[in-house]
């Protein structure tokens, strides 16, 4: 017999406020990011007086507190009652120059938020708005490397200051990729004049501090044992130093304890949670990859299913593939999905990024193979990855 919502809601839970464990929750303080927050605050502070600010590029792996730290500064900035503004955009959504400019207009000049206006019209309206009272506009572009026409966007935004008689426009770009600016043209790079800030991965004690802060707000008192906190922090530190991963582990461990009717979360629940969280993290990572990284991963997964040349040469090969054959398969996949294969140099970058995300592993080839090459191996079951990728890549095939 199906129960009622009332009975479900009345069921005892070890959670006090589950949302606190979400990676999207912004706490009042961010442990172990005080130094980075101070740097961002110093950089944006001239805007409070209507003065020019430098462009800033923030780098770091997923879950290192980049976005949370910048959003924390934005909250403090907004409380100052200044005529200048900071505007946040996720570039997975606002992924073109037109969409970025359109969102600025929608936010500050809603009367002109209508279909049919071109880039030049939106650009002029933004300049007019900035020049009124000489405002400073700081655009926070999260995952900035996801913008399709990034070179055009950067050049347009930075060169806008040449057209402004009063006021200023600056960029705070956030990216997981230290080398994303290599895709920019020389003219765009030369106009940036930026400051760079790298967020290092968290270590185990730092992750424990973050977890304890969230557990204090999110769980009932005494509901999480010390060994569970230490284990979740150690696992996350060993994997990537990713605070989001540590929070997911703790959230899932709490859910498992709730389902079992347990009164506390122990290391056993954390270990059990790791299995499902790892798979969910892999799915999220695959679905959000840029298309050419998806195509490279598709090539690795499809070869791994059938076994590559190295497997035959090395009597099984422990699942490793020759990077050269992966590149050939990648080129085949590009033709299949109607895309132009990138150069071998970009292919190597894509492999490095996939390894950084933990989706593949790589080792240098040893004796018995002519020349120097890298061996590539899937970190997850290739059949599962193929299913995820085929759902993601099929719309690309229809383009």
DSSP per position, 233-289: HHHHHHHT--HHHHHHHHHHHHHHHHHTT-SSB-HHHHHHHHHHHHHHHHHHHHHTS
Rounded distance, CA 248 to CA 62, Å? Answer: 13
The answer to whether residue 312 scores a pLDDT higher than 70 is no
**Two tokens at 269?**
């629940």
Percent of the chain past pLDDT 90, that is, above it, reads 63
The better pLDDT of the pair 185, 399 is held by 185
Mean pLDDT, the chain, as a whole number? 88
Note the pLDDT tens digit of each residue in 245-259: 999 999 999 999 999
The answer to whether residue 21 scores a pLDDT higher than 80 is yes
The pLDDT score that the predictor gives to residue 314 is 47
Note the pLDDT tens digit of each residue in 109-168: 999 988 889 999 999 999 999 998 889 999 999 999 889 899 999 999 999 999 999 999
Whole-angstrom CA distances from 1 to 4, 9, 260 are: 10, 17, 20
b/e code 270-294 from CB counts within 10 Å (16+ = b): beebbeebbeebbeebbeebeebbb
Rounded distance, CA 38 to CA 43, Å? Answer: 9
Rounded distance, CA 38 to CA 158, Å? Answer: 24
Note the pLDDT tens digit of each residue in 232-245: 999 999 877 899 99
The answer to whether residue 378 scores a pLDDT higher than 80 is yes
Q: Residue 287 — pLDDT band, cuts 50, 70, 90?
A: confident
Average pLDDT value for residue range 306-310: 64
Of residues 330, 310, 315, the one with CA closest to residue 377: 310
The residue whose two tokens read 């120059």 is 97
Terminal Cα distance for the chain, rounded: 48
Of residues 88, 167, 160, 172, the one with CA closest to residue 130: 167
Rounded distance, CA 123 to CA 212, Å? Answer: 46
The pLDDT score that the predictor gives to residue 116 is 85
Q: Residue 397 — pLDDT band, cuts 50, 70, 90?
A: low
Note the pLDDT tens digit of each residue in 61-80: 889 999 999 999 999 999 99
The residue whose two tokens read 């760079």 is 196
The pLDDT score that the predictor gives to residue 280 is 78
Q: Are 293 and 262 in contact (CB under 8 A)?
A: no
The pLDDT score that the predictor gives to residue 308 is 62
User: ∠236-229-60 over CA atoms, to 5°?
Assistant: 30
């Amino acid at each position: 017999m199906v129960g009622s919502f009332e009975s479900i809601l009345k069921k005892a839970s070890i959670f006090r406020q589950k949302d606190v464990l979400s990676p999207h929750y912004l706490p009042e303080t961010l442990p172990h990011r005080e130094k980075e927050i101070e740097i961002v605050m110093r950089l944006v502070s001239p805007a409070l007086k209507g003065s020019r600010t430098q462009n800033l590029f923030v780098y770091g792996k997923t879950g290192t507190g980049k976005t949370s730290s910048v959003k924390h500064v934005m909250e403090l900035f907004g409380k100052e009652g200044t005529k200048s503004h900071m505007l946040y955009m996720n570039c997975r959504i606002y992924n073109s120059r037109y969409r970025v400019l359109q969102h600025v207009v929608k936010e500050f000049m809603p009367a002109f938020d209508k279909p049919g206006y071109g880039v030049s019209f939106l650009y002029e309206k933004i300049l007019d708005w900035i020049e009124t009272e000489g405002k400073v506009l700081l655009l926070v572009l999260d995952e900035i490397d996801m913008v399709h026409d990034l070179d055009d966007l950067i050049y347009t935004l930075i060169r806008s200051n040449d057209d402004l008689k009063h006021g200023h426009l600056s960029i705070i770009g956030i990216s997981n990729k230290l080398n994303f600016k290599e895709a920019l043209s020389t003219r765009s790079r030369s106009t940036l004049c930026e400051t760079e800030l790298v967020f290092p991965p968290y270590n185990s004690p730092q992750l424990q501090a973050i977890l304890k802060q969230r557990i204090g707000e999110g769980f009932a008192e005494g509901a999480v044992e010390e060994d569970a906190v230490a284990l979740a922090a150690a696992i996350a530190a060993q994997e990537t130093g990713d605070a989001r991963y540590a929070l997911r582990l703790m959230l899932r461990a709490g859910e498992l304890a709730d389902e079992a009717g347990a009164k506390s979360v122990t290391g056993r629940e954390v270990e059990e949670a790791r299995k499902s969280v790892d798979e969910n993290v892999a799915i999220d990572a695959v679905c959000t990859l840029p298309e050419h990284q998806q195509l490279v991963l598709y090539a690795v997964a499809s070869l791994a299913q059938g076994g590559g040349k190295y497997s035959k040469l090395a009597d099984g090969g422990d699942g490793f593939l020759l990077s050269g054959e992966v590149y050939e398969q990648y080129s085949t996949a590009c033709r299949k999905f109607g895309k132009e294969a990138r150069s071998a140099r970009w292919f190597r970058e894509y492999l490095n990024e996939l390894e950084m995300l933990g989706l593949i592993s790589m080792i240098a080839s040893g004796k018995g193979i002519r020349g120097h090459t890298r061996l590539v191996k899937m970190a997850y079951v290739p059949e599962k990855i193929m299913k995820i990728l085929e759902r993601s890549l099929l719309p690309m095939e229809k383009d």
